[in-house]
Structure 1
Amino acid sequence: MPKPTVALFDYGSGNLRSAHRALERAGADVELTSDLDAARRADGLVVPGVGAFAACMAGVAEHGLDAVVRERAEAEAPILGICVGEQILFAEGVEHGIETAGLGVFEGRVDRIEADRVPHMGWNTVDAPAGMRLFAGIDPGERFYFVHSYAAKAAPPGALTATAVHGEPFVAAVERGSVSATQFHPEKSGDAGAALLANWIKGLQ
């Protein structure tokens, strides 16, 4: 059986080599691409992201990825957002008092974490509800690697939502229909992250 195809979209959001390697190890045929047709036809689309919400949205819009993400979401074609790639799936983000419209796949707002120490950097546990495909077979005590100062605080309506706590609870991962996303970096989260990526890739077959 051929491996499922994954388009890892490069819109200038940062170093994607670790994500590329992790997705390949998890069982996908991965193409690092900025081609919109490749993003449309792949079995799965991965939307990465590091840095600022507004900058990532600008890159997405410049490359035309915003339309493709919305098309795939409407068509129930699988998408995985990672880190700021998760955040921009929400309706809006607020940084330094400036609001930026997101892709609007999920309802809600991304805002600064209220904690004594920001950014939230390092390993943390995640509380995932039963039935969440991303976490199938993963021990509840496993830790995942986070690097972020902003997060969505409220679960989108109708979504299965996993949470973590750093000063306050926030959305650590979410899935609804064909769209999944993680605030943490599964490609940097060791065996637990590898298992999560494998779970997502299994859903592409």
Structure 2
Amino acid sequence: MIAIIDYGAGNLKSVNHALKSLSLESEITSNPDHLFDANAFILPGVGAFRDAMDELTRLNLVDAIKENAQLGKPILGICLGMQLFFEKSYEHGEWKGLHLLEGEVVRFNHDLKVPHIGWNQLEKATTCRITDKLAENEYAYFVHSYYVLPKKKEDVICWTNYGVKFPAIVQKDNIIGMQFHPEKSGETGVKLLQAFGEMIK
């Protein structure tokens, strides 16, 4: 079973619907104990970094997420959920993240329209189970004003370019992040969620 973490900031129903359409059992929960019962979990996210971390702390989910990640369970962060995996964000201040991955979250600083909204190409950086089924330069749907500056380039599975090259998919062992929304990315998103489901024991 896949637990979809509800902390008041995410496309919970659309993620849940996407998983069920792939015959992947899932539940939406804000109970930290349910993460220990789950085989894998997803941290979705729409909103502000600081608010998200405050709510995860209030719900006693921070330690539960870290402990289950250390147990080796597959964990997928979507959009803001991926950014929360990193050390800190500079979104309206400086805020600490979950520190599951090394790097920082910064705002786009160029002449292109922000937020970055729409379809953009995924440029594979390496081969791995998550992206095995993807062709070169498939498109995914993005909605964000901030992006990750990773400290370790080897954690980046796919890049995207929007005035600056930034990580679209990251992975370190069982920890996977997608800056875009796979549940809104058509067949590309379906293939990625299927691959995530196949990681679950």
TM-score bucket (shorter structure): over 0.9
For the 8 Å contact 1:8–1:33, the answer to whether it is kept is yes
SS of structure 2 residue aligned to 1:164? strand
- The corresponding residue for 1:20 is 16
Using the TM superposition, give the Cα deviation of residue 31 of structure 1 relative to its aligned residue in structure 2, in angstroms. 0.6
Structure 1: which 5+ residue stretches go unaligned?
none
Q: Which amino acid aligns with 1:138?
A: L
Identity %: 36
Is 2:90 the counterpart of 1:102? no
- The corresponding residue for 1:190 is 186
- Aligned equivalents of 1:158, 1:167: Cα separation in 2: 22
Using the TM superposition, give the Cα deviation of residue 158 of structure 1 relative to its aligned residue in structure 2, in angstroms. 4.7
Is 2:199 the counterpart of 1:203? yes
- Aligned equivalents of 2:83, 2:42: Cα separation in 1: 13
- Aligned equivalents of 2:39, 2:25: Cα separation in 1: 10
- Aligned equivalents of 2:98, 2:125: Cα separation in 1: 25
Stretch of structure 1 that moved more, 10-19 or 104-113 = 10-19
Q: How many residue pairs are counted as aligned between the two chains?
A: 200
For the 8 Å contact 1:127–1:140, the answer to whether it is kept is yes
Stretch of structure 1 that moved more, 153-162 or 139-148 = 153-162
- The corresponding residue for 2:116 is 120
- The corresponding residue for 2:130 is 134
Is 2:84 the counterpart of 1:93? no
The correspondence for 2:80, drawn from 67, 78, 84, is 84
- The corresponding residue for 1:143 is 139
The TM-score normalised by the length of structure 2 is: 0.95
Using the TM superposition, give the Cα deviation of residue 155 of structure 1 relative to its aligned residue in structure 2, in angstroms. 5.2
1:14 to 1:154, Cα distance in 2 relative to 1, 3 A: closer
Using the TM superposition, give the Cα deviation of residue 140 of structure 1 relative to its aligned residue in structure 2, in angstroms. 1.3
Structure 2: which 5+ residue stretches go unaligned?
none
The correspondence for 2:171, drawn from 175, 183, 200, is 175
Using the TM superposition, give the Cα deviation of residue 136 of structure 1 relative to its aligned residue in structure 2, in angstroms. 1.2
- Aligned equivalents of 2:12, 2:37: Cα separation in 1: 20
- Aligned equivalents of 2:188, 2:136: Cα separation in 1: 10
- The corresponding residue for 1:45 is 41
1:134-181 CA-to-partner distances (Å, cap 9, x unmatched) read 211111121000000001023536524311011101111101111111
For the 8 Å contact 1:164–1:171, the answer to whether it is kept is yes
- The corresponding residue for 2:30 is 34
- Aligned equivalents of 1:201, 1:187: Cα separation in 2: 14
The correspondence for 1:68, drawn from 64, 70, 84, is 64
Using the TM superposition, give the Cα deviation of residue 17 of structure 1 relative to its aligned residue in structure 2, in angstroms. 0.8
1:118-142 CA-to-partner distances (Å, cap 9, x unmatched) read 1000000011233222211111121
